[in-house]
Amino acid sequence: MVTPRFAPLVGGIETHVLEVSRRLVERGVAVTVMTIDESGKLSPSETLGGVKVRRYAATAPGGFSAALRRELIETSTSYDLVHVQGVHTALPAMALNAARRTKLPTVLTFHTGGHSSRIRNAARDAQWRVLRPSLRRVDRLVAVCEYEVGYFSRRTGVPLQRFSLIRNGASPLPVDDVLSRPFTGSPLFVCVARLERYKGQHRLIAAMPDVLRREPGARLVLVGDGPHKDALVGQVERLHLRDHVEFVSFSPAERGQLGALLKRANVHALLSDYEAHPVAVMEAVALGVPTLVASGSGLTELISGGLADGIDRDEDPAIVADALLATARHDRGDGNLRLPTWDDTVDTLVSLYESVLGTRRAGQAAGQVAR
């Protein structure tokens, strides 16, 4: 697998690749993850849960790595298939080009998301046009939500039958018995997301004054870090919400603490501009936490599937406050909600790999007969 970021880094793609690769190894599939280390502080080679990990320095902006490309070409005979995870950096085109040179079968999972940069968002259509020739040559394209299937079929011209829908799993987070720090709030709202403007934390902060007029004991906890933190802290100060909005982050080793916080929450909210099938939301839903999301993109499917309440992300803060309080009054249910698991994800993925490899072998055999 080739991915721009991997454990111990934290994020949706990182979680997806870790959960999937470990389970593939458990089923007897040899997996090597090739990734970029922009920090230069991580081990260049290690094994995590049976998964071989190789990290390379980025040699150009956007995640391009000449060393990774060279290694993929030189060791191509060691692999049966290349699975590229993520499409938002320079890495996918580079990896697909290398795989094509060596005639390795390829699979690509989009994992699309939003971005805070207006320039990068405006350039997305140009990016898809540049990637279009490479994407058309991929053996199978994988989307994590129905929205991505339609979106990329239209922009690449690839027929719908070349796409597979494989959703993220929804395994509950571990839950520690004791939280190392108190998180109070009645009701208690939590948002787990990188602190980027497109993730919409500013919309939740803007709603808090209206929430507090009705529920003076309410509290909002923003879990994560990122480049938009200073702006969010400034918004909290301007609205005099220092006692009611808290910023916190958890390391990968503290997932039990995150689970314990979510278990205490009355609502998990994510009002992003764009999401495909966010792992953080699915983890909260799997814990039985009432969830509120912004309608649009892949989040709409969570609303229509009854997994989350929905609201227009551009609603007035008073309306957002109404929605938060309404979701907080929801019964958590009996915990018997049937959600896709990571094992379900891997079951489908293994079948996909077998199909791609079988088709390739059949094509090669037909070519040999023809000659």
Average pLDDT along the chain: 90
Find the mean pLDDT for residues 79-104.
Answer: 92
pLDDT over 70 at 117, yes or no: no
Find the mean pLDDT for residues 8-18.
Answer: 90
Find the mean pLDDT for residues 2-29.
Answer: 93
Task: Read off the pTM.
Answer: 0.85
Residues with Cβ within 8 Å of 272's Cβ and at least 6 positions away in sequence, in order, are: 114, 193, 198, 199, 200, 278, 293, 294, 297, 299, 313
Q: What percent of the chain has pLDDT over 90?
A: 70
pLDDT over 60 at 271, yes or no: yes
Distance, in Å, from the CA atom of 165 to the CA atom of 281, rounded to the nearest integer, reads 18
> CA dist 250 to 10, 15, 259, Å?
10, 14, 10
What's the pLDDT tens digit per position in 315-359?
A: 999 999 999 999 999 876 655 667 889 999 999 999 999 999 998
What's the pLDDT tens digit per position in 206-244?
A: 999 999 999 999 999 999 999 999 999 999 999 999 999
pLDDT over 50 at 369, yes or no: no
Dihedral sign for Cα 131, 137, 138, 140, please.
positive
Distance, in Å, from the CA atom of 358 to the CA atom of 355, rounded to the nearest integer, reads 5
pLDDT at 127: 64
For residue 273, the one-letter residue type is D
pLDDT over 90 at 10, yes or no: no
Tokens 């791609």 correspond to 356
Distance, in Å, from the CA atom of 220 to the CA atom of 228, rounded to the nearest integer, reads 17
Q: Which domains, from first to last, does the chain contain?
A: 2-169+342-370 (3.40.50.2000), 188-328 (3.40.50.2000)
Q: E strands, the chain, where? A: 2-3, 32-36, 45-48, 51-56, 82-85, 106-109, 140-143, 163-165, 188-192, 219-223, 245-248, 267-270, 291-294, 309-311
Res. 368 pLDDT band, cuts 50 70 90: very low
